[in-house]
Amino acid sequence: MAAVELHNVSKRYSGTTAISDLSLSVERGEVFGFLGPNGAGKSTTIDILLNYIRPTSGSVEILGKDVRRNPVVVKKRVGVLPDQYAVFERMSGRKHVEFAIRSKGADDDPTDLLERVRLESAADRPATSYSKGMKQRLMLAMGLVGSPDLLVLDEPSTGLDPLGVRVMRTIVREERERGATVFFSSHILEQVEAVCDRVGILNEGSLVALDSMDGLREAVGASSQLTVTLDRVTDGVLDELDALDGVTAVDVEGESLVVACENTAKASVIDAVRVDGNTVQNITTDEPSLEDLFVSYTTEEP
């Protein structure tokens, strides 16, 4: 049984399509990164899967239950770190956690939860006096109440200090070890890269990539750009490169050739440019990063 299933979900606001026919399945025990630039539709998707808003069409199942037909069951088994939150006036961090425990009918020890998010020394201060990162860690402690089967983290790294980023990563790993599923949304690839098993990239309301981190790395690593500076660029060199398998583009910049090619073709490129007795003066390679891949998926046709 999947932890999260979206079946052909669309959401239209007057004049705006926020989500378009989105289908997605997240397995139990998986840490899933939900990536996309601002306005891609991440929060809308999360609001639909948490049953905060109704989709225009399509349906959502969480842990095998339709969220519209079983809202209470779903709520009990899901922990959320929301994108937007406010703390209660005059209530300490500890009181916030105790409130969450009561609301969920759980029996967690508030001190344990506050220690997990490294707020033990500030636990009895009013939460209104916390920094943004501390408030976010407090919300995370509240999301962990009741050992949820699914933890939904909406943009969890915004506003976090380095300690907060470490706490977040540790907790995601601990939750995965416990067997929980984590659905982690972010517009920052680096933050999902460190913890996620699989990522989906959302752009303008549609999923444009869905792969394991390793799969994405392979896709990125499969091609690179070589810049080869020669003593002179001859027609013979260009003909040789044109004829090579795995070369996708060649640009001439003065005495340099900028060659886009598959990684496996790099050695042949270096051999080919030596035709006509040319001498190689310099070679540099430019490997695209996962960040480049994210940008390419979200700004142009991949």
Task: Name the residues that contact ligand ATP, by CB under 6 A.
Answer: 13, 16, 18, 36, 38-44, 187
Tokens 């003066």 appear where? 281
Give the nearest distance from C-beta 136 to ligand ATP in angstroms.
Answer: 15
The rounded distance, in Å, linking the Cα atoms of 181 and 152 is 9
- Quote the least distance from Cβ 100 to ligand ATP, whole Å: 24
Structure tokens, 238: 């260009």
Rank residues 29 and 39 by Cβ distance to ligand ATP and give the closer one. 39
| Closer to ligand ATP by Cβ: residue 188 or 280 | 188
Of the two residues 10 and 25, which places its CB atom closer to ligand ATP in the complex?
A: 10
CA distances from 277 to 155, 174, 200, 233, 239 (A): 56, 60, 48, 11, 15
Least separation, in Å, of the C-beta of 36 and ligand ATP? 5
- Which CB atom, from 122 or from 183, has the smaller least distance to ligand ATP? 183
Q: Which residue, among 102, 153, 17, 121, has the nearest Cα to 111 in the 3D structure? A: 121
- 10-18 long-range contacts (CB < 8 A, ≥24 apart) are 10/55, 10/56, 10/57, 10/58, 11/41, 11/44, 11/48, 11/53, 11/55, 11/56, 11/205, 12/56, 17/205, 18/44, 18/205
User: CB of residue 81 vs ligand ATP: minimum separation in angstroms?
Assistant: 14
If the CB atoms of residues 36 and 143 are measured against ligand ATP, the closer one turns out to be 36
Query: Nearest distance from residue 24's CB to ligand ATP, in Å?
Result: 14
